[in-house]
């Protein structure tokens, strides 16, 4: 059981870091055709697009990633509750 919890903890942490890097990339110029950048976009955009459909940007600021992080944390807590 401890191995499953450890794996889930690492998996959630990695995805959170990928989301954070994806958000930071939106603030700086980058090459969208870079394979690493494409991978980040392809793995994080489906999740972020769920929230972007319901939460419009406020001016030039997109607050949907904040809500996405909060929901990811709630999902994480729910799953860890089930595993324990």
Q: pLDDT, tens digit, for every residue of 10-68?
A: 999 999 999 999 989 988 998 989 999 999 999 999 999 999 999 988 888 888 999 99
Q: pLDDT, tens digit, for every residue of 9-24?
A: 999 999 999 999 998 9
Q: Quote the number of domains for the chain.
A: 1
Which residues contact residue 21 at a Cβ distance below 8 angstroms, ignoring those fewer than 6 apart? 40
- What global pTM score does this model have? 0.86
Whole domain around residue 71: which residue ranges? 3-83
> DSSP labels for 30-68?
--TTSHHHHHHHHHHHHHHHHHHHHS--BTTB--HHHHH
CB 8 within 8 A of CB 77: no
């Amino acid at each position: 059981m401890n191995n499953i919890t450890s794996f889930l903890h690492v998996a959630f942490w990695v995805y959170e870091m990928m989301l954070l890097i994806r958000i930071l990339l939106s603030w700086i110029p980058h090459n969208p055709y870079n394979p690493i950048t494409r991978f980040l976009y392809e793995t994080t955009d489906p999740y972020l697009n769920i929230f972007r459909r319901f939460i419009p940007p406020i001016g030039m600021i997109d607050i949907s990633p904040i809500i996405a992080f909060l929901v990811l944390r709630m999902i994480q807590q729910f799953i860890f509750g089930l595993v324990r």
